[in-house]
């Protein structure tokens, strides 16, 4: 009897202890989960910040290029404004006596010629500035909630316009753009990917070289191949190029974020990036994107089938 009572007491004590431990364990678990959640949140924040930083870097490159491209036409327009003032002064001098004599006619004709020259140059200059601003707007377009139909060939052309200052004096562009359908994507993100890879291609080429662009559609996927005639990537380094922070560029040129972020964007679209590179034979990046966003079959918006 005494033995049974003792056993009961012990059992009760064990039960109480167990209950306490369970309570403590549950609380610890809750606390742990909250900590993990907080850490996750922090990581997500850091990732977004990194993407933002990379975006700023490519934006900085863009702005530098566009500034350079706009300064020439601006210089021409500025010179023309000064010319117009001079032409008006001369015209007023001719007209100051209220008439145009016969021997003044050649001078007036010369002034008229100068004005039409000004108009011609201004038209060219404005066209150039408008083109740069238009492509900049296309690239800077804000994030859209839903994927949109987007012409990748046009995106390539726009990216080339923005990189004109990198390209025009040393790189030949060979285009082999296929008849591809518009793809469903986040245009600003895809622009960032194309610009990153094209800029890498430009920077890989020292001195003169060639960049080949090829776009195709196959099996519901669009592929864009960008090949440069640069020195290529050593085999042991090919695996590292998508790791954040890896860069072969000199200090101040790159942060090593362009490719990791491009890969992330493309994977989030349900696509992939392939790399083919041989030292001495250049590098080809192939961006493959599904025509349908993430490869999902989007329900037809037309009249329902009967």
The correct pick among 75, 178, 220, 279 for binding another protein (CB under 8 A) is 75
The correct pick among 27, 134, 168, 249 for binding another protein (CB under 8 A) is 168
Q: Is 86 in the site for another protein (CB under 8 A)?
A: yes
Site string for another protein, 105-144 (x = CB under 8 A): -----xx-xx--xx-xx--xx--x----------------
Q: Is 66 in the site for another protein (CB under 8 A)?
A: no
One DSSP character per residue, 108-140 reads HHHHHHHHHHHHHHHHHHHHHHHHHHHHHHHHH
Q: Is 174 in the site for another protein (CB under 8 A)?
A: no
Site string for another protein, 252-281 (x = CB under 8 A): ------------------------------
Q: Is 191 in the site for another protein (CB under 8 A)?
A: no
Query: With contact defined as beta carbons under 8 Å apart, do 213 and 156 qualify?
Result: yes
Tell me whether residue 80 or residue 277 sits nearer to another protein (CB atom).
Answer: 80
Supply the minimum distance, in Å, between the C-beta of residue 82 and another protein. Answer: 5
Q: Is 161 in the site for another protein (CB under 8 A)?
A: no
Supply the minimum distance, in Å, between the C-beta of residue 199 and another protein. Answer: 17
> Could you tell me the CA-to-CA distances from 47 to 30, 53, 54, 60 in Å, in that order?
26, 10, 11, 20
Eight-class DSSP state of 242: G
Considering only CA atoms, which of 233, 232, 226 is closest in space to residue 195?
226
DSSP E strand stretches across 103-259: 148-150, 171-177, 183-185, 209-218, 221-228
CA-to-CA distance for 216 and 182, rounded, in angstroms? 12
Tell me whether residue 50 or residue 173 sits nearer to another protein (CB atom).
Answer: 173
> Could you tell me the CA-to-CA distances from 54 to 105, 133, 175 in Å, in that order?
62, 22, 28
Which stretch, 80-88, 155-163, 178-186, 255-263, contacts another protein (CB under 8 A)? 80-88
Q: Is 62 in the site for another protein (CB under 8 A)?
A: no
Q: Is 237 in the site for another protein (CB under 8 A)?
A: no
Q: For the chain, what is the radius of gyration of the CA atoms? A: 32
Q: Is 74 in the site for another protein (CB under 8 A)?
A: yes
Q: Is 22 in the site for another protein (CB under 8 A)?
A: no
Which stretch, 47-55, 86-94, 219-227, 231-239, contacts another protein (CB under 8 A)? 86-94
Q: Which long-range contacts (CB under 8 A, 24 or more apart) does 121-130 make?
A: 121/76, 121/77, 121/80, 122/76, 122/77, 122/80, 124/73, 124/76, 125/72, 125/73, 125/74, 125/76, 125/77, 125/80, 126/73, 126/77, 128/69, 128/70, 128/72, 128/73, 129/70, 129/73, 129/74
Supply the minimum distance, in Å, between the C-beta of residue 137 and another protein. Answer: 23
Residue ranges in contact with another protein by CB under 8 A: 64, 68, 71-76, 78-80, 82-83, 86-87, 90, 110-111, 113-114, 117-118, 120-121, 124-125, 128, 168-169
């Amino acid at each position: 009897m005494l033995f049974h009572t003792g056993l009961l007491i012990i059992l009760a004590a064990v039960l109480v202890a167990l209950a306490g431990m369970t309570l403590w364990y549950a609380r610890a678990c809750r606390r742990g989960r909250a900590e993990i959640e907080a850490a996750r949140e922090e990581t997500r924040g850091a990732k977004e910040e990194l993407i933002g930083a990379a975006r700023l870097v490519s934006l900085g490159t863009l702005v530098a290029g566009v500034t350079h491209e706009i300064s020439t036409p601006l210089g021409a327009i500025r010179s023309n404004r000064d010319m117009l003032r001079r032409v008006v002064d001369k015209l007023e001098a001719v007209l100051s006596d209220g008439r145009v004599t016969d021997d003044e006619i050649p001078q007036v004709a010369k002034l008229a010629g100068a004005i039409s020259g000004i108009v011609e140059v201004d038209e060219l200059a404005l066209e150039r500035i408008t083109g740069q601003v238009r492509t900049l707007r296309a690239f800077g377009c804000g994030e859209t909630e839903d994927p949109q139909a987007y012409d990748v060939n046009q995106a390539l052309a726009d990216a080339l316009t923005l990189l004109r200052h990198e390209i025009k004096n040393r790189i030949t562009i060979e285009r082999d753009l296929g008849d591809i359908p518009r793809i469903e994507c986040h245009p600003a993100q895809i622009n960032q990917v194309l610009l990153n890879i094209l800029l890498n291609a430009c920077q890989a080429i020292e001195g003169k070289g060639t960049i080949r662009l090829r776009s195709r559609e196959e099996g519901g996927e669009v592929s864009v191949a960008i090949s440069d005639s640069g020195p290529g990537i050593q085999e042991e380094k090919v695996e590292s190029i998508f790791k954040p922070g890896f860069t072969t560029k000199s200090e101040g040129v790159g942060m090593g974020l362009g490719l990791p972020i491009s890969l992330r964007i493309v994977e989030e679209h349900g696509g992939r990036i392939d790399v083919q590179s041989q030292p001495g034979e250049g590098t080809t990046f192939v961006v493959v994107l599904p025509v349908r966003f993430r490869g999902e079959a989007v329900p037809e918006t037309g009249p329902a089938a009967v």
